Structure 1
Amino acid sequence: MSIRPLVILPDARLREISAPVGTITGDVRKLAADMLETMYDAPGVGLAGIQIGEPVRIVTIDTSKEKEDRKPLVLLDPEIVWSSEETRPYEEGCLSIPDYYAEVIRPDRVRVRFRTLDGETVEQEADGLLATCLQHEIDHLNGVLFIDHLSKLKRDRVMKKFAKAAKREAA
């Protein structure tokens, strides 16, 4: 296992649509392990493959509290198959958009279908933080960032800020 560098806004790779995982190989298992290690090190509660430069439909999540035992989830080819009509706001952040947080309104509950590392197809219903996290990470697989759910003004401000920071870093 190894900690991988994060892809940071305005990197265009964050807008790529990720490809299906396909056959579950040793490389897929290693990628999942690297993603978990990277997510825990960051620290974060979710990570999509594209956030470490791997455009494949794999997501890692762990919403356990700091003093609880870790409860890592690895989802291969996840898709939302149902969303509640009820919505709720949640303050979101993103490892690829460091130190920026904003309230996003999303469906309160979702049902997600995915494959496990054992190849089993599972459907899981979620609410609260887990539902928000699932939607956020699956958005990443489709080239969507949480800032895309904000007003154009707020989104443009964030993009400009990160573009300037990237320019400074490159100089």
Structure 2
Amino acid sequence: MTGQVRPITLVGEPVLHSPCRPVESFDGELAALVDDMFASMYAAEGVGLAANQIGVGLRVFVYDCQDADDRAHKGVLVNPTLVLPEGGDRRLDDGDEGCLSVPGPYAKLARPDRATCHGYDIDGNEITVEGTGLLARCLQHESDHLEGRVYIDRLSGRARKKVLKEYEQLRAEREAENA
């Protein structure tokens, strides 16, 4: 991996709360961005990262995580479209979720236990990624980022306030340690 580690965009920064623009050029610039995204995700010990989490408002995310059968999946999705099960096929997983852009706290968040993303690889070839378990959660979480949503936007008001309070406390502690 040759990418540069970039700072993670934190909750409250405008680029994180606005829908991202479609990628129009599948070129060296996109490849370099994806390399930086993987480097930044690994440095932050994450399992997924959307471009706006490093300040770039483009519809692209990377992931490296396990599915429900503990199989490893690693890749990039450009201009993805998320498809979720409906009706009788829809089962929810109410696991814990966190975010590199809200470092520290986790909260229970029900999401469908399966997800599919249709999109493109970095060369512009059509791809489909189907996920279960953590991979399904990751596909949904990163797709939300591309729409300008952070996972805490899906929480109840009380749960969101609790997560933000914990986040602010941890941030204040880190700042005090670094002072």
Shorter-normalised TM-score: what interval? 0.7 to 0.9
- In 2, the alpha carbon distance for the partners of 1:124 and 1:72 equals 10
CA displacement at 1:25 relative to structure 2: 1.2
Give the TM-score of the pair, scaled to structure 2: 0.83
Tell me the residue number matched to 1:73. Answer: 75
Q: AA paired with 2:51?
A: G
Pairwise CA RMSD: 2.4
Aligned with residue 117 of structure 2, among 112, 117, 142: 112
Partner of 2:127: 122
**Conserved 8 A contact 1:112-1:125:** yes
Task: Give the alignment of 1:1-171 within 5 angstroms.
Answer: 1-64=3-66, 71-84=73-86, 85-159=90-164, 162=167, 165=171
TM-score by length of 1: 0.87
Q: 87-96 or 52-61: which moved more?
A: 87-96
Between the two proteins, the alignment pairs up a number of residues equal to 167
Measure, in 1, the Cα distance between the counterparts of 2:72 and 2:42.
10
CA distance in 1, matches of 2:66, 2:137: 14
Identity in percent: 39
CA displacement 1:103-122 (0-9 Å, x = unmatched) = 11011111210101121111
| SS of match in other structure, 2:117 | strand
Quickly say closer, same or farther: Cα 1:71–1:126, change in 2 above 3 A.
closer
Runs of 4+ that moved beyond 3 A: 68-71, 157-166
Which runs of 5 or more structure 1 residues have no equivalent in the other structure? none
Separation in 2, partners of 1:70, 1:34: 21
